[in-house]
Amino acid sequence: MHTRLALFCLLTAPALPAQQPPPPAATPPRPAPRAQTMRPEIVGQRGIVAAGRHYSVAAGTRILEQGGNAIDAGVATVFAAAVVEISHFGFGGESPVIIHDAKTKQVYVINGQGPAPKAATPAMFAKQGKVDGNGPLGATIPAVMDAMAIALERFGTMSLAQVMAPAIEFADGFPMYAYLRENMATHRKATEAFTWGHTYYPAGKLAEVGEIFRQPNLARTLRTIVAAERDALKKSADRGAAIRAGRDAFYTGDIARRIVAANRAEGGVFTYEDLANFRGAIEQPATTTFHGYEINKAGAWNQGPVMLMTLNILEGVDLKAMGLNSADYIHTVIEAIKLAYDDRNAFLGDPAFAQVPMQGLLSKAYAAERRKLIGAQAFLEHRPGDPFAFDPGVKPPAVRYLPHAQGEKNPDSSGDTTCVNTVDAAGNLFSATPSSGWVIGGAFIAGDTGVPLSNRMQAFDLDPASPNVLVGGKRPRTTLTPTVVRKDGVPFLALSTPGGDSQDQQVLNVLLNVIVFNQELQVAIEAPRINSNHPHASFDNHASAPGQLDLESRIAANVLEDLRARGHVLRVLTPYGMSSGVVAVGVNPKTGTLRGGADPRRERYIFGW
């Protein structure tokens, strides 16, 4: 009965509407294709090290793995680079540094640039009309050891013994690589012209690629520094005092005496007092804001403020509306660069010796006045401004300096630099641009110390009206220009590059790509570059090439024609032909994790995890 009733109810129940299939799910929008790059952007949580060679990066990475912070890693990377990148940089050179300290949330500059010896005078170079480069008279006081000791003591956590261990191992020997061997072969005659040039060519032989290259004299010097730290620790557990003892072993001990003796034996003017009395310092950065970002550079003894001036000029222009690498964009950026660099050459110099109107140079009001000079056509003259009108605290000099070429240009003049940038999980940033003591042009090695001396003296002017005129004890205005960028006080990027006068232009290219056009970091580094050769150079005879503009050939042909019509003198390079090697590391503001990128234009290396 129950079964029949159930069947009757089922058959007589009103029909239900047919079940409709669910509507098809909306197809999710396809993400925009990721920009293709020659190298991947590096991401990580614990730390990233970017530098000029794989050996250098390996040194910094080892320190991070051992528990060091970004400053420990940066110092170790610089020390290693001074051993393995002697085509670019040596232990007797210089290394300006900028640090964002996660504990204090402040940015600090370590000047890292040695001065001229006290006995140096313009009269020494009057005959040739310019300051010598490589050789015993070309050297400023070695600053690397001092700068790294300051960074390690104040912002690091480790000992000299720990951070110098990779460098000592490399000095004991590393497999020769092709780029270094090519440089050492090319410049062998110039290096061996000096008494100790044979150091790099033992038994008259240059190591082959893959063969172990040794620097036993330099290894002994590095071990002497570490031994002095170790001896100090036996007397006291004071880590800072021990680091200073290691530093002093270089500047006040037998090493210093042997460096001086070697320099003077070949005509140099170093004295023991030059080294013993040298002290670097921690300084406040020169700073500006651009689209809400805080850009930090070194001060008036450095070319770094030129990038701040350029950004100030460009901030009043809608670059994004112009379009990246359009003719309007390139014209505007290059004209701003030319204005800022003319002011660099006219006004920047060691502030201990020159009255520099920094407040005026970096004021937004002054930038607005300079911006008005950007017209429809490229200007071919040099146009320094009047920042003193915007800086009432600084009195203008009686004679205004107008930058100009000096002496005959050396057709074989050349040089190079490297770069080191590190970041850690706490947000510490370390940015350095180590240089000098290079093989290029002929390395002057200071006797049996194994230390190649700097050639930074050539960055001085000889014109007495110049704020950068050579004076004994004065720092030359260096092109070595590390960078730290923050947003709302939070670390964002540390970046630097080799490239002499072009360093701030090449870093500017990358920053505009990131900040204005919101490009990913590696994309921004690999994007087509531009560079002006209009400014008077910092080196050799300080020549300029009015209106000359270098561009990579990936810039559109119609843009090139438009720029020519505006009066720019173009040199079109190969697709990645710019002489640069930007490396950058930082904190991704969206995720809080770490990121970094390295330039394929040069042999730049990066690792993180």
Residues 278 and 331 in one domain: no
> Within this chain, do residues 447 and 506 fall inside the same structural domain, yes or no?
yes
Query: What pLDDT was estimated at residue 438?
Result: 82
Q: Are 83 and 51 in contact (CB under 8 A)?
A: no
Taking 50 as the threshold, does the pLDDT of residue 12 lie above it? Answer: no
Q: What are phi and psi of 168, to 5 degrees?
A: -65, -40
Pick the last residue of a domain from 390, 406, 428: 390
Q: What is the pLDDT of residues 74-133, one digit of tens each?
A: 999 999 999 999 999 999 999 999 999 999 999 999 999 999 999 999 999 988 888 877
Q: Kindly give the pairing relationship between strand 483-487 and strand 293-297.
A: antiparallel
Do 275 and 297 fall into the same domain?
A: no
Q: Considering 347, 370, 390, which residue would you say is the last residue of a domain?
A: 390
- Could you tell me the pLDDT band of residue 251, with boundaries at 50, 70 and 90? very high
DSSP 245: H
Residue 185 lies in a domain: yes
Residues 381 and 508 in one domain: no
* Closest C-alpha among 80, 93, 114, 88 to residue 215: 80
- 498 part of a folded domain: yes
Q: Do 224 and 324 belong to one domain?
A: no
pLDDT band for position 14 (cuts 50, 70, 90): very low
- Distance, in Å, from the CA atom of 380 to the CA atom of 609, rounded to the nearest integer, reads 48
Mean pLDDT of 51-61: 97
Going by pLDDT thresholds of 50, 70 and 90, the confidence category of residue 25 is low
Judge if 374 and 315 occupy the same domain.
Answer: yes
Model pLDDT, residue 13: 36
Nearest residue to 545 (alpha-carbon basis) of 554, 532, 559:
532
- If asked whether residues 193 and 156 sit together in one domain, one would say yes
pLDDT band per the 50, 70, 90 thresholds, residue 475: very high
Q: Is 68 a member of any domain?
A: yes
Decide: 260 and 250 in contact? Cβ < 8 Å: no
Cβ burial of 200 (10 Å; 0-12, 13-18, 19+) is buried
Three-class DSSP category at 310: helix
E strands, 392-437, are: 420-424, 429-432
> Does 378 map to a domain?
yes
pLDDT digits (tens, 9 = 90+) for 306-322: 999 999 999 999 999 99
Domain containing 336 — which CATH number? 1.10.246.130
d(Cα 206, Cα 192) in Å, to the nearest integer?
12
Q: Are residues 458 and 373 in the same domain?
A: no
At residue 568, what are phi and psi to the nearest 5 degrees?
-75, 140
The reported pLDDT for the residue numbered 541 is: 87
pLDDT digits (tens, 9 = 90+) for 549-566: 999 999 999 999 999 999
pLDDT of 11 > 50? The answer is no
User: Whole-number mean pLDDT of the chain?
Assistant: 93
Question: How many structural domains is the chain composed of?
Answer: 2
| CATH number where 64 lies | 3.60.20.40
Cα–Cα distance list, 510 to 503, 519, 576, 597, 598 (Å):
11, 9, 14, 11, 11
Give the separation between CA 82 and CA 94, rounded to whole angstroms: 10
Percent of the chain's residues with pLDDT above 90: 88
**Spatial distance between the Cα atoms of 351 and 293, rounded to a whole number of angstroms:** 26
Tens digits of residue pLDDT in 403-448: 998 866 654 455 578 999 999 999 999 999 999 988 888 999 999 9
Assess whether 239 and 300 both reside in one domain.
no
Between CA 493 and CA 522 the distance in angstroms is 13
Query: Residue 309 falls within a domain, yes or no?
Result: yes
Give the residue-averaged pLDDT of 1-13.
34
Residue 404 included in any domain: no
Last residue of a domain, one of 371, 390, 409: 390
Tokens of 427: 């947000």
pLDDT for the residue 69? 98
pLDDT beyond 90 at 345: yes
Q: Are residues 233 and 318 in the same domain?
A: no
Q: Which of 404-418, 443-457, 568-582 has the lowest mean pLDDT?
A: 404-418
Tell me whether residue 95 is in a domain: yes
**436 in the same domain as 381:** no
Q: Place 19 in a pLDDT band, splitting at 50, 70 and 90.
A: low
Q: Within this chain, do residues 592 and 515 fall inside the same structural domain, yes or no?
A: yes
Average confidence (pLDDT) over 369-380? 98
Phi, psi at 107, each rounded to 5°: -110, 135
Alpha-carbon distance of 480 to 495, in angstroms, equals 12
DSSP state of 106: E
pLDDT of residue 22: 60
What is residue 412's predicted lDDT score, i.e. its pLDDT?
47
CA distance 355 to 352: 8
- Domain membership of residue 545 (yes or no) is no
Query: pLDDT, tens digit, for every residue of 147-197?
Result: 999 999 999 999 999 999 999 999 999 999 999 999 999 999 999 999 999
Rounded to two decimals, the pTM is 0.94
- Number of other CB atoms surrounding residue 121 within 10 Å: 14
Domain that holds residue 54: 45-286+419-529+578-608
For residue 35, the model assigns a pLDDT of: 83
Q: Give the pLDDT of residue 29.
A: 66
Burial class of 440 by CB neighbour count within 10 A (0 to 12, 13 to 18, 19+) = buried
Distance CA 112, CA 144 (A): 6
Q: Is 199 left (phi over 0), alpha (psi -120 to 50) or beta?
A: alpha
DSSP 3-state of 235? helix
DSSP 418: -
